[in-house]
Amino acid sequence: MSAAANGRKAIFITGAASGMGLETARLFARQGWFIGGVDINEAGLARLEQELGSDNCLVQRLDVTDRAAYAAALDRFAAASGGRLDILYNNAGIGRGGPFADQPWEDVLAVVNVNLVGVLTGIHLAIPLLKATPQSMCFTTSSSSATYGMPMIAVYSATKHAVKGLTEALAIELKPYGIRVADVLPALIDTPILPEGAAAAAPKAGVFRAIPPREVAETVWEAYHSDRLHWYVPRELVALDHMATLHPEQTRDEMAEGRLFATIDAQVAAATPVPIGATAG
C-alpha cells in the first residue's frame, strides 16, 4: 500500500501498465505528482510501482467495466491522495478489428464496454473528487478514428466518436464547477494495442507515421496547463478533422480507394502548420 500523497497533485490513470498510460505516469511522477495507476495487467503494474517507488504511487488491478470495483479503487486512491484528483485520465482501451459483419458479438460488446462504458463509469464516479479539487481536469484518450469512421475498426471508431462527443458535452456541463474536460486524438501510436508489425510497417513520415507514446504523455501535461478541448497527435491530424467535417463524401470515397492519407499528407505539406490544439472549423 502506498504512502499518502502528502499534498502533492494527483493523477488517476487507467491503462497505466503500458503504452500511453505508462509514459504519462512516468512523466507526471518526474514532475512530482502522486500517481494512481490501474490496469488489468498486474505484472505491468508491479513494474510501474517498482520504477516509481511505493511512496509515489498507488497501483491497483482494475477492470474498468466493473463499476463496484472502480468505485472501490477510487476510494482507495482518494484516501491516499488526501481526497484530491487533479486529473482523471481515462486511457484504458482495447482494439478488436475486422469486418463488422464477421466480428464475434462478444468482441463488439467488449470494445463498447471498455472504450465507452468504462469511460462513462470513471467520469461518473470521479466527479465528486474533481469538484473538490481546484482547477481539475477530466482527460480522455479518443482517437484519429473519431475524426472519420474508419473501416475494419468500425466499433472501435464508434466508441471514440462517442468519447469525443462526450468530451464536448461535459466540457460545458462541468465548467461551472471549475472542471476542465478535454481529449487527445492520437493517430498511430506505437503501443501494444497495435497489431503485431503495424508500427514497423507504418510510413516513416506523414500524419500516420508511428509515434512514440511519450508524445501523448507530453500532450497530457500540456493539456493540464491549457483550456483547449481537442488535442491532436501528431498536430497535423487536424487536417483530417477539417476534411471529414467539411467534405465527408470526398473523405469517404478517398478512404475507400486508399488515397485518403496521401491526400491529407499533401494538404499538410502545402499548408501552414496548425497548432496542436487547433479544432476544426
Cell of 212: 512514440
Residues with catalytic roles: 156
Using CA atoms, how far apart are residues 24 and 214, in angstroms rounded to an integer? Answer: 7
* Residue pointed to by grid coordinates 487507467: 14
Return d(Cα 274, Cα 236) in angstroms, integer.
7
For residue 203, give every residue at least 6 positions away whose Cβ sits within 8 Å of its Cβ, in sequence order, or none: 209, 261
Contact in structure between 167 and 175 (CB atoms under 8 Å) = no
Is 207 in a helix, a strand, or coil? Answer: coil
* CA R_g for the chain: 18
Residue 152 CB: number of other CB atoms within 10 A?
11
Q: Give the list of residues 6+ apart from residue 78 with CB closer than 8 angstroms, or none.
A: 84, 85, 129
